[in-house]
Chain A
Amino acid sequence: EVQLVQSGAEVKKPGESLKISCKASGYTFNNYWIGWVRQMPGKGLEWMGIIYPGDSDTRYSPSFEGQVSISVDKSANTAYVQWSSLKASDTAMYYCARSHGGNANTPGDYFDYWGQGSLVTVSS
């Protein structure tokens, strides 16, 4: 059974750093792109970026380029997104999702499995 299990809720202060995780199981981790999606309170879904675990090829949305860093640890079947200096506007639910199909150069067309979400609250 494919599962994506995300790390728990975080409460941070502005300026602090943070790394949240998404542990995959039930499939060959290296062969599927993993995307990250932000959902601010009461708002819609925003695609942040995506990574191919096989070679760590990473693409970012222009809106998130330079604001976050996406990475993987293949030995742990885990993807991450991290912030070096959080802002109050980073308060949101963050989802990881597996991109179905695709290949080493291009992700699949849709996200078939989703993590349960990691709530990040940034407040002074």
Chain B
Amino acid sequence: EFVLTQSPATLSLSPGERATLSCRASQSVTNSFAWYQQKPGQAPRLLIYHASNRAAGIPARFSASGSGTDFTLTISSLEPEDFAVYYCQQRSTWPPITFGQGTRLEIK
């Protein structure tokens, strides 16, 4: 069974700080890898596709990298609107398409 494991489960930081979120795959993944942001009461929003490409309209403070089994999402300087839940997702080994369990980024 293919599994994406995100860490940490919760990240407590202050505005202006740097956030680093991780996602580890149980098997090697091609670049069919994405990150989403979900705010309370809203649908998920695509942030990053193909492991490192920002989606349209996503601010430059969001960046991502990784290959194989280890992927990272970085927010360089947190803005108040960045506090949300973040999910990774892969389509490399499918079906099923897989989501990570999420990282909650909360205000410290």
Contacts and interface: CB of A to CB of B under 8 A. Distances in A.
The finding on whether chains A and B are genuine partners in a shared complex, rather than unrelated, reads yes
Interface of A: 35, 37, 44-47, 49-50, 59-63, 95, 97, 99-100, 107-112, 114-117
Given A100-B49, A116-B43, A46 B89 contact: no
Contacts of B85: 44
A49 B95 CA distance: 8
A110 B46 contact: yes
B91 to A, nearest CB: 5
A63 B85 CA distance: 23
B55 interface: yes
Contact of A47 (B34, B97, B101, B102): B97
A35 B95 CA distance: 12
B108 to A, nearest CB: 21
Contact of B97 (A50, A116, A117): A50
B31 A109 contact: yes
Given A109-B31, A109-B50, A112-B55, A61 B91 contact: no
A45 B96 contact: no
A111 B87 CA distance: 12
Contacts of B45: 114
B3 to A, nearest CB: 13
29 contacts: A35-B97, A44-B87, A44-B100, A45-B36, A45-B87, A45-B89, A45-B99, A46-B99, A47-B97, A50-B95, A50-B97, A60-B95, A95-B43, A97-B44, A99-B91, A107-B91, A107-B97, A108-B91, A109-B31, A109-B33, A109-B50, A109-B91, A110-B32, A111-B46, A112-B46, A112-B55, A114-B45, A115-B43, A116-B43
B74 interface: no
B20 to A, nearest CB: 20
A100 B99 CA distance: 16
A44 B99 contact: yes
